[in-house]
Structure 1
Amino acid sequence: MGCGSCGTGKPGGCKSHGSCGTGSCNRMNVHDWLMNLPFSDPESSCKVVEVSFNKGSRKEYFRNNSLQYFEKGAYVTVEGVSGFDVGEISLTGELVRLQMKKKGVDEFNPDMKRILRQPSEKDVELFQQNKAREPQMLMRCRAIARQLNIQMKLSEVEIQADGKKATFFYTADDRVDFREMIKIYAGEFKVKVEMRQIGIRQEAAKVGGIGSCGRELCCSTWLTDFKSVTTTAARYQNLSINQTKLSGQCGRLKCCLNYELDTYLDALQQFPDNADTLETTRGTAHLIKKDIFKNLMWYVLPDSSKQYPLTIQRVKEIKRLNGRGEKVEELQAVELVNNKPKEIEPQFVDVVGQISLRSLERGSKRRKEKDHREQQQQRNDRKGGSGGGHNEREAKAERSHEPQQRGGGGGQQRNAGNEQQRQGNNQGGGGNNKPPQQQQQRNQQQKPKQQQQPQRQGGEGNNNQQQGSGNNKPPQQQQKHPPRQQRPHHNQRPPQDKKPPQQTPPPPSDKA
């Protein structure tokens, strides 16, 4: 894409307009293509160079009286206010004359400042120290202006390289009386203060940013002058008058609305004038828009909301008939062919009945059982301790059913007591040889009164056990550790109205 104003066709666009002399750029290289032309004379060459300060936010022209040649991008020490300043050369050669002519600067002005020398190490060190003070000074100045209740906005502070002068750039809607503020600034910072008011667009150029196009702002890169932009430019380009979309970072209309305005005006010249209305038998057709790319004019009739695209020749023909007092019956709209492939709409799919509730319930039940097993395993691991373990807990549960040994010959007595206890339980249970689980279900279905009777009968067997073994402890204390299968949850308690089922005693040992 080439330059919009000069048509040089540089790769990536001639944003700097350096080849045509319509502007200059502070971030892009500018080649002086006029230097090697035959009419170039060293004696008649331009002795003025363009120097940019503060990263290109301010540019001035200085006379180069020395015979030394400075290239673009080199730093030089120039005259300042009661001292010196350090800047970067942004443009040299014949292009400087074109820029000076555009801005109305006299090349042979005797009051023009001069280039002193190349910067020394001391100049560069002092320049860096003063530049490092600018952010803190800007914050302090804003705080002072807020305390004094001055309606102004400080956007930038620029300190001279020698630190003797500071320029404050601000924006304000009305006139501002900052005489008291200048005294405070001069007394606190020990510099010569200069207040310079700028516009909102100049402020956006100094601050910088990214536009809606995704590129850096034009005003902060190559745009040097700001032309007025009105909503008429948007109407010529058939843009909707939306203040949010047409405004830039500064809050004003975008400068790029003027870039293609001339192209649109040239294309609109072939469209007929005074064609806002057309007389037909169905009523008056009103113009709603013009399409310069397809050379069509869109009209709408009063009795319908349908839009009719007409060619330029058809509109001219209807205007000629209307001039003779005739009304047309049909507008003869153009049929527009859409070459875009039609999007296939997704079809409706009935998924009712594909997923049953039973499958969901089974899945949720499996997840609950799995979670319960994991929690039980973690709980057993915590109870096992460091040296416990699963096997040791089972061994303890088995040993809990065995009678406690007291003395050397108490083992045979306990075996005899166990035999008597087993006989008593068989008598108390009525000779019920069913498994423990079925016996437990049967006990739960019986009434509380019937539930107590086998327990009392079983208690008689326990008394026989006490007589045989000599152990006077109650049966609940003898069985401290019930079997693992019947051990209740540590957070759950058995119901008070129901007693736990009768435990089946262990089988007799071989010694008995």
Structure 2
Amino acid sequence: MNVFDWLSNMDMPSEDHFNIAEIRFKNGRKDFYRNSDHISLHTGDAVVVEAMTGHHIGYVSMQGELVRLQMQKKKVANDDEIKKIYRVAHTKDLEKFEEVKNRELPSLYHAREVIRKMNLGMKLSDVEFQADNTKAVFYYSADERVDFRELIKVLASEFKVRVEMRQISLRQEAGRLGGIGVCGRELCCSTWLSDFKNVATSAARYQNLSLNPSKLSGQCGRLKCCLNYELETYMEALKFIPDVEAPLLTEKGEARLQKTDIFRKIMWFAYKEENNWYALNVDRVNEILTMNRAGKKPASLELDLEEVKIPIATLNSDLENLDRKFQNKNRNKNRNKNRGGRGDSRNPNQKNSGNQGPNQNRKNPNPNNPNNQNRPNPNRGK
């Protein structure tokens, strides 16, 4: 995930510059490295960093005071053992790293074949080779404990590298693979979410969601992490919603709860013999519950219905405005048609010119008129 440095436009004292940078690796994996040599770095630079054995190449994702805040969030102390940044990666380093990365996909397929032959209950999802081609980390998921000691020996002898097997959860696996959720956005686990909390089915019940596993499950096969995002808000709003377990007793009959709008504090009830739903606010529901506990019954649920009455004059004025709008529209259409008809009924002997003036529709002068005798006849000589 890319990080926006909102402190980049601020002038920070050079002597107090924080010398730890956050480095990003494959599939968004990040770690902190110390810039002991005070190398001039910029966000996005490829750097050679220290590894357990040898070196690796990553990209600078964050530096400066933001790293200090990020370390506090992840509870990493400044005096902890933090690996070192060696230098900015050269062209030869990047070319060799590209050759090493080209080994990852064939190695992944081959390792899956070996796992299938050894009949191990594990799912291999990804592999990451170190930049110096001395180590390979295989990421897998499994429901039970797996003895992969023999597998490590086989893979190490075939790939000629040091092999490390690292187990990840199904949510972490989905985050490494990436994808698009049903919301149309990139998966949270592959962009910004790093703390995977437990998601229970009660989160869906509190939010009045249908308990459909296909809709509540994410691409990892587990309940969606986003079910926890608004859970606290729903829990706070549910404090004002009465708990209706038994039907409401009225003289008209028993009314059972059908639906609850938590934020609007409206509850819908329906009689057993009817198909209509009646909307009641929580105050009315509490009132009926209190009456039922005292052995009393209200006449019906309709007493709480509040109908919105709209004046008839307002409705009539709206209809008149709408009719007037359509009448004006039809009148303009007829006017345009009449103009087009008059334009086509011109004298056939008149020349059609696109540069005619405003008197283009004027009739020919009458030759019998004494006032027009001195005017030349346009049809003379034809």
Superposition TM-score, scaled by structure 2 size = 0.75
Letter in 2 for 1:154: L
Q: Deviations over 1:209-239 (max 9, x none)?
A: 1111111111111111111111211122221
Q: Deviations over 1:68-110 (max 9, x none)?
A: 332221111100132111001112222222322222222211x
Corresponding residue for 1:446?
A: none
- Return closer, same or farther for 1:34/1:292 CA change in 2, 3 Å cut-off: farther
Q: Deviations over 1:342-363 (max 9, x none)?
A: xxxxxxxxxxxxxxxxxxxxxx
Distance in 1 between residues matched to 2:123 and 2:75, nearest whole Å: 30
Corresponding residue for 1:36?
A: 10
Matching residue within 67, 73, 91 for 1:121: 91
Letter in 1 for 2:7: W
Unaligned stretches of 5+ residues in structure 2: 309-382
Matching residue within 186, 210, 214 for 2:180: 210
RMSD: 2.3
Report if aligned partners of 1:81, 1:165 keep a CA contact under 8 Å in 2: no
Residue 34 (structure 1) shift: 7.8
Q: Map residues 89-488 of structure 1 onto 2, 5 A cutoff.
A: 89-109=60-80, 111-273=81-243, 277-332=247-302, 334=305
Residue 275 (structure 1) shift: 7.1
Q: Identity of counterpart residues, as a percentage?
A: 50
Does the residue aligned with 1:327 lie in a helix, a strand or coil?
Answer: coil
Distance in 2 between residues matched to 1:318 and 1:275, nearest whole Å: 13
Distance in 2 between residues matched to 1:48 and 1:334, nearest whole Å: 64
Distance in 2 between residues matched to 1:316 and 1:294, nearest whole Å: 16
Report if aligned partners of 1:165, 1:192 keep a CA contact under 8 Å in 2: yes
Residue 116 (structure 1) shift: 0.7
Corresponding residue for 1:67?
A: 38
Report if aligned partners of 2:141, 2:169 keep a CA contact under 8 Å in 1: yes
Does the residue aligned with 1:193 lie in a helix, a strand or coil?
Answer: strand
Report if aligned partners of 1:85, 1:160 keep a CA contact under 8 Å in 2: yes
Distance in 1 between residues matched to 2:246 and 2:32, nearest whole Å: 53
Report how many aligned residue pairs link the two structures. 308
Letter in 2 for 1:130: V
Distance in 1 between residues matched to 2:163 and 2:226, nearest whole Å: 36
Corresponding residue for 1:77?
A: 48
Corresponding residue for 1:355?
A: none
Letter in 2 for 1:126: K
Q: Deviations over 1:310-344 (max 9, x none)?
A: 1222223223333443211111253688xxxxxxx
Distance in 1 between residues matched to 2:160 and 2:93, nearest whole Å: 19
Corresponding residue for 2:312?
A: none
Distance in 2 between residues matched to 1:280 and 1:95, nearest whole Å: 63
Does the residue aligned with 2:126 lie in a helix, a strand or coil?
Answer: strand
Q: Deviations over 1:151-175 (max 9, x none)?
A: 2111101000000010000111111
Letter in 1 for 2:167: Q
Q: Deviations over 1:475-494 (max 9, x none)?
A: xxxxxxxxxxxxxxxxxxxx
Q: Map residues 493-504 of structure 1 onto 2, 5 A cutoff.
A: none
Residues 1:48 and 2:20 aligned together = yes
Distance in 2 between residues matched to 1:336 and 1:254, nearest whole Å: 40
Q: Deviations over 1:347-406 (max 9, x none)?
A: xxxxxxxxxxxxxxxxxxxxxxxxxxxxxxxxxxxxxxxxxxxxxxxxxxxxxxxxxxxx
- Return closer, same or farther for 1:316/1:138 CA change in 2, 3 Å cut-off: same
> Which is higher, the Rg of structure 1 or of structure 2?
1
Does the residue aligned with 1:204 lie in a helix, a strand or coil?
Answer: helix
Superposition TM-score, scaled by structure 1 size = 0.57
Does the residue aligned with 1:169 lie in a helix, a strand or coil?
Answer: strand
More strand by share: 2
Matching residue within 59, 84, 102 for 1:88: 59
Q: Deviations over 1:111-163 (max 9, x none)?
A: 21011111122211211110111111111111111111112111101000000
Distance in 2 between residues matched to 1:102 and 1:190, nearest whole Å: 39
Report if aligned partners of 2:27, 2:176 keep a CA contact under 8 Å in 1: no
